[in-house]
A and B are shown apart, each in its own frame.
Chain A
Amino acid sequence: MKLSPQWLRDFVDLKVNYHQLAEDLTLSGIAVESVSGEGESTVFEMEITTNRPDAMNHYGVARECSALYDFPLKPIAPALPKATGKSAFSIEIAEPSLCPRFTARVLRNVSVKPSPSNIAQRLALIDQRPINNAVDATNYTLWEMGKPTHVFDLDLLQGGKIVVRHARDGETLKTLDGVERKLTAKDLVVADAKKPVALAGVMGGWDTMITDKTRNIVIESAWWDPVTVRKMSKRHGIHTDASHRFERGADFEATILSCDRVAELILNSGGGELVGEIIDVMDRPLDQAPVALRVAEVHRILGEPLPVNEITRILKRLGFELISEPEREPEFTVRVPSWRLDVEREIDLIEEVARLHGYDKFSNTLPPYAGSVIERPHTAEDKKLRSSLLALGYDEAISLTFISHEDAEKFSPVPVLELENPLSEEASVMRPTLVPGMLNMLAYNLNRGGENVRLFEAGNVFERSGELAVQSAQICMGATGSAVLPDAHQKARPLSFFDLKGDVEQLLHAFQYKTLKFEGTTSDYYHPGRAARAVMDGALVAQFGQLHPEIAAARKLRQEVFIAEIYSEQIYKAGLREVRYQPLSRYPAVARDFSFIFSDEVNFETISHSISELKIPEMQSFVPVEVFRGGAIPAGKYSLLLRATFQSYERTLREEEVAGWSELIVNALQDLGGTQRA
């Protein structure tokens, strides 16, 4: 909203320059976003908060200035000629609860023409296009005092009356923007005897508008139910200066004044005469209860002992009326002005006092506190996972929360939550998985020349469970390119399945579990045979591996891509591993190597299991050192070099013991079908 500070001078004597005024207003809650122009052409760009429709006009801002600087506020007092005759015009309100007040005046023999230059210039200065003297009069009044009004061509209203009613299904109305609108029984309209002529509080009708031919005019100034106006404005997609004010609550007591002001402006510029007395149909007076204010409460909330006379001064300047004087009373009552529908409670008055006193005049204090800090669940687990991922070289990333239907189907089996008003088709579903987002980020890098990328995202995924939305925490890792970057000292090594597996193992290692198994079954977007899932104490905690080549091709990922999904909620259940100190042996460890050839069907887990079944207490570890296929090894077989390490906590091991265990191991490996190499 634009505002001319020069216009304010009609109502209040300003003794500050406009830049100072802008700052003072902003600091009292009437925000001036920017100042442009100079002197009389200075324009303020205002940002008035939604609770203050009363300040969305010049008079309202002038009132704020009056309170701010403690100057008197001049009234708006239209000077009208004596009315002649009778208007013979009637108003019928079929929906008094939605239109508790409707005020009108009739003017005859008006000449419609361009507005006088002072009016036109003021409107132009605040970006309002002058149209003709009658329409400009309503517009001027709206920007002057904030009350929307409307003018009809009286001769185009059939039956010489106005009816406020709901529209009938099937009725249409061409509004002032030239759009033919279909109405329903939900719409509230201003109608003549036959047809709707305006969408109540939103926009007038085309067929009854003021034209060059207009001679006789009806001025409407009504008060419309805010919710009704808001719903109509939304339903028809029309937001006007009038609807903006009505839906926030217009000034109930300003209908007559605004009607008179419009009449005055039209008569001044277009001649004609005022016909009949003002027509003011009111169903009920505005229900505004007086509000009690306790000085002690002002002090309790604000924390500073504001003097009573400062409190009352501010309220009076803003138009509040003191019903009981606070001589020595700790409590007094004020009547709220009709333009302040936002003020209903004591706290609302306290805010008025605080903002005009000036927020910056209150001191800065720190409150004492005797409570304790309660830790959010899983903070430690999340910190551990995040710091491990960062240490493993994954950059932390955040992707959008929405994905396409297509991706949701491809990457997740769960029922999804759709958006009612999505930003686009590609962003229409709440992500049930982090994978598509990760793949998009990897593609983004690859398309910009980034060949070595390691990212992780820790975020929430969503699924629909009946009528509910279920949110769970997950981590997705994505990697492509080299595990070891080439440089002056070493050659590149491309990422492999085992890099990802190692990283997943590192993450899981921080948690408390009895068994951890890796199985070859994964979701079908993984490369068959190059992916695995991790099962911790029977629960699926992760799946990872190379992305399926077809998916990679479809997403134009030009190099091998690896992803890992960590199901955080499952690992939370395990909890972080509690570290217990292990005494260190004072005796030497002995290592023995075993070189065997196995058939491909025998995997390391089987081997490791059968060796652990030997239950050799001194065996500290049993690990594969070398795996080799091809060369002299026949197809379907592989060569495996294994290393066992023995150590006792009580003594130095003897040769014969170690030889005995070695023999047990050799036998066990042979039982699995292994052949010992020479």
Chain B
Amino acid sequence: MAYTVSKLTDFSAKALTKESQKLLSALEKEAKEVKNETDWKAFRDRWMARKNGVLTQLNDLWLKAAPKDAKREVGANVNELKQKVESEVENSKRRVDGAGSAPKSVTKKEVEHVPTQRRPPSGPLDITLPGIRRPLGAEHPIIKTMNEIVSVFRNLGYSVEEGPEIETDYYNFEALNFPPDHPARDTQDTLFIANQESKPLRDRLLLRTHTSPVQIRAMEKRKPPIRVVCPGKVHRNDALDATHSPIFHQVEGLAVDTNITFCDLKGTLDHAMKALFGSSVKTRFYPSFFPFTEPSADVQISCIFCGGKGFRDGARCPNCKSSGWIELLGCGMVDPNVYGFVDYDAKKVSGFAFGMGVERIAILKYGVDDIQHFFQGDVRFLQQFR
């Protein structure tokens, strides 16, 4: 006698299992009897026809009839049976078709209807278990900080320029108004490329000690007005320890135009520091010395840890050594000698340049206590910046 779906009165798990077994053995038996296309169509219609197919009956007689509290359990069961029916119908089709079979897991001929949702697990879902996270990579804090600085200046109309990390003496020193044998070169702790003695001094190769050479290269390429910001890696002859590193990163900037003044330099950097550290930050400028700028200045910002008070929680602020100020960058009006190297007319144009160490800013922003962390690739460190 052909299988018919029984009307359920008992919706217990035990009863469900028993009824399901009946259905599955009938399914298996009938599938075996499918020999050709015609058999298969009949088989398919008997089980899957929308009107009165076995699956439709299951839906009506089991699922719809189930009391509220059993609905979930019955639903899962019906779903499972439905999949088995669909795959048996599909398998028997492949058997009668022979070669070029439709994919196994596909329930209908049309791939677009492949079920993408997996069957929910039976039983309760502990939604408090941690989710499955696909790991995301972490941005390096130095690159992230460098990009932040650059974007502040981009928003002010500065173009981004890059240059070589191995420079000539000319670009790193001479064109920046460091004459040969000038003591100012001592402050640069330069790493030199070997075997350069046969060349004239200006052509000798070295690792750039600042990104300022990029300013020269930019001015060689373009006439004023010019606004560029130059991020990049620089090197100094300093062994790696908690406070020193042979590599670090700088962002330098340059603006040259008619009528650029010292007040403009101050205003620009004051704006940039507020953009980077918050609008309540104050800046303070005091004289300094760089061969390629004059007048030159160092810039301090009011301590971001104690708000410039010098004291925090009743104690001396360790970050600014209680001074209320933190030294952050160097800057100045471009020295007229520099214009001579790039063929700008110092009588007509004026401009300013500034430079800041990215590590120093990142250390401040994130409170990092050891510069070595930046260059060791330790994922325990890096992943804090996700």
Q: Are A394 and B257 in touch, CB under 8 angstroms?
A: no
Nearest chain B residue, comparing its CB with the CB of A47: B288
Nearest Cβ in chain B — how far from A506, in angstroms?
Answer: 13
Q: Are B162 and A376 in touch, CB under 8 angstroms?
A: yes
Which residues of A have CB within 8 Å of B127?
A: none
* Given known A-B contacts A247-B183, A393-B137, A663-B100, A441 and B111 have beta carbons under 8 A apart: no
| Contact of A366 (CB < 8 Å), options: B100, B160, B267 | B267
Q: Are B263 and A362 in touch, CB under 8 angstroms?
A: yes
Which residues of B have CB within 8 Å of A625?
A: 103
* Given known A-B contacts A301-B261, A301-B350, A421-B237, A444 and B376 have beta carbons under 8 A apart: yes
Q: Are A367 and B165 in touch, CB under 8 angstroms?
A: no
Q: Are B266 and A376 in touch, CB under 8 angstroms?
A: no
A18 at the interface (CB under 8 A from B): no
Stretch of A123-131, A259-267, A343-351, A562-570 contacting B (4+ beta carbons < 8 Å):
A343-351
Stretch of B53-61, B72-80, B193-201 contacting A (4+ beta carbons < 8 Å):
B193-201
Q: How far is the CA of A28 from the CA of B352 in the complex (A)?
A: 20
Contact with B along A166-196 (1 / 0, CB 8 A): 0000000000000000000000000000000
Q: How far is the CA of A391 from the CA of B238 in the complex (A)?
A: 35
A430 at the interface (CB under 8 A from B): yes
Nearest Cβ in chain B — how far from A388, in angstroms?
Answer: 10
B264 at the interface (CB under 8 A from A): yes
* Given known A-B contacts A400-B375, A423-B237, A593 and B261 have beta carbons under 8 A apart: no
Which residues of A have CB within 8 Å of B112?
A: 588-589
A676 at the interface (CB under 8 A from B): yes
Contact with B along A40-62 (1 / 0, CB 8 A): 00000000011110000000000
Nearest Cβ in chain A — how far from B209, in angstroms?
Answer: 13
Q: Are A444 and B377 in touch, CB under 8 angstroms?
A: yes
Nearest Cβ in chain B — how far from A561, in angstroms?
Answer: 13
Nearest chain A residue, comparing its CB with the CB of B386: A395
* Given known A-B contacts A399-B377, A418-B194, A29 and B257 have beta carbons under 8 A apart: no
Give the contacts of B47-75 with A (CB-CB under 8 A): none
Q: Are A396 and B137 in touch, CB under 8 angstroms?
A: yes
Which residues of B have CB within 8 Å of A363?
A: 263, 266-267
Q: Are B205 and A417 in touch, CB under 8 angstroms?
A: yes
Q: Are A389 and B137 in touch, CB under 8 angstroms?
A: yes
Nearest Cβ in chain A — how far from B368, in angstroms?
Answer: 14
Q: Are A395 and B383 in touch, CB under 8 angstroms?
A: yes
Nearest Cβ in chain B — how far from A646, in angstroms?
Answer: 9
Q: Are A366 and B271 in touch, CB under 8 angstroms?
A: yes
A84 at the interface (CB under 8 A from B): no
Give the contacts of A350-392 with B (CB-CB under 8 A): 350-351, 354-355, 359-360, 362-367, 369-376, 379, 389-392
Contact with A along B259-294 (1 / 0, CB 8 A): 111111011101100000000000011111100001
Nearest Cβ in chain A — how far from B285, in angstroms?
Answer: 4
Contact with A along B141-175 (1 / 0, CB 8 A): 01100000000001011111110111000000000
Nearest Cβ in chain A — how far from B234, in angstroms?
Answer: 10
Nearest chain A residue, comparing its CB with the CB of B263: A303
Q: How far is the CA of A418 from the CA of B238 in the complex (A)?
A: 17
Nearest Cβ in chain A — how far from B257, in angstroms?
Answer: 7
* Given known A-B contacts A471-B165, A676-B99, A362 and B136 have beta carbons under 8 A apart: no
| Contact of B263 (CB < 8 Å), options: A364, A372, A591 | A364
Q: Are B264 and A471 in touch, CB under 8 angstroms?
A: no
A150 at the interface (CB under 8 A from B): no
Q: How far is the CA of A665 from the CA of B99 in the complex (A)?
A: 10
Q: Are A50 and B289 in touch, CB under 8 angstroms?
A: yes
* Given known A-B contacts A373-B159, A417-B166, A303 and B271 have beta carbons under 8 A apart: no
Q: Are A397 and B286 in touch, CB under 8 angstroms?
A: no
Which residues of B have CB within 8 Å of A322?
A: none
* Given known A-B contacts A26-B286, A28-B286, A418-B194, A50 and B187 have beta carbons under 8 A apart: yes
A279 at the interface (CB under 8 A from B): no
Q: How far is the CA of A409 from the CA of B195 in the complex (A)?
A: 19
Q: Are B137 and A371 in touch, CB under 8 angstroms?
A: no
A490 at the interface (CB under 8 A from B): yes
| Contact of B139 (CB < 8 Å), options: A49, A376, A396, A665 | A396
| Contact of B160 (CB < 8 Å), options: A375, A394, A440, A460 | A375
| Contact of B100 (CB < 8 Å), options: A393, A488, A490, A662 | A662
| Contact of A421 (CB < 8 Å), options: B192, B233, B239 | B192
Number of interface residues of B (CB under 8 A): 95
Q: How far is the CA of A304 from the CA of B357 in the complex (A)?
A: 30
Which residues of A have CB within 8 Å of B296?
A: 351
Which residues of A have CB within 8 Å of B136?
A: 390-391, 393
Q: How far is the CA of A369 from the CA of B158 in the complex (A)?
A: 10
Q: How far is the CA of A625 from the CA of B270 in the complex (A)?
A: 61
Contact with B along A125-142 (1 / 0, CB 8 A): 000000000000000000
Which residues of A have CB within 8 Å of B184?
A: 50-51
B96 at the interface (CB under 8 A from A): no
Q: Are A367 and B260 in touch, CB under 8 angstroms?
A: yes
Nearest chain B residue, comparing its CB with the CB of A376: B160
Which residues of A have CB within 8 Å of B333?
A: 301, 347
Which residues of A have CB within 8 Å of B199?
A: 467
Give the contacts of A583-639 with B (CB-CB under 8 A): 588-595, 625
Q: How far is the CA of A423 from the CA of B244 in the complex (A)?
A: 13
Q: Are B239 and A441 in touch, CB under 8 angstroms?
A: no
B101 at the interface (CB under 8 A from A): yes
Give the contacts of A622-678 with B (CB-CB under 8 A): 625, 643, 645, 658-659, 662-663, 665-666, 676
Which residues of B have CB within 8 Å of A469?
A: 164, 166, 193, 205
Which residues of B have CB within 8 Å of A372?
A: 157
Which residues of B have CB within 8 Å of A456?
A: 137
Contact with B along A328-344 (1 / 0, CB 8 A): 00000000000000000
Q: How far is the CA of A363 from the CA of B192 in the complex (A)?
A: 42
Q: Are A365 and B261 in touch, CB under 8 angstroms?
A: yes
Q: How far is the CA of A485 from the CA of B294 in the complex (A)?
A: 58
| Contact of B227 (CB < 8 Å), options: A369, A399, A420, A487 | A369
B27 at the interface (CB under 8 A from A): no
Q: Are A418 and B195 in touch, CB under 8 angstroms?
A: yes
* Given known A-B contacts A373-B159, A589-B110, A394 and B376 have beta carbons under 8 A apart: no
Q: Are A455 and B284 in touch, CB under 8 angstroms?
A: no
Which residues of B have CB within 8 Å of A453?
A: 379
Nearest chain A residue, comparing its CB with the CB of B260: A367
Nearest chain B residue, comparing its CB with the CB of A249: B183
Q: List 10 A-B contacts (CB under 8 A).
A: A360-B285, A362-B262, A367-B264, A418-B193, A418-B194, A421-B192, A441-B377, A445-B379, A593-B102, A659-B100
| 9 more A-B residue pairs beyond the given contacts A418-B195, A420-B196, A592-B101, with a C-beta to C-beta distance below 8 A | A301-B262, A351-B295, A364-B271, A371-B157, A390-B138, A396-B139, A396-B140, A399-B375, A423-B246
Q: Which residues does B use to contact A, with CB under 8 Å?
A: 99-104, 106, 109-112, 129-130, 132, 134-140, 142-143, 154, 156-162, 164-166, 181, 183-184, 186-187, 191-196, 199, 205, 207, 225-227, 233, 235, 237-240, 246-247, 255, 257, 259-264, 266-268, 270-271, 284-289, 294-297, 333, 335-336, 350, 374-380, 382-383
Give the 6 A-B CB pairs with smallest separation, nearest first: A303-B261, A29-B287, A662-B100, A441-B377, A49-B289, A303-B263
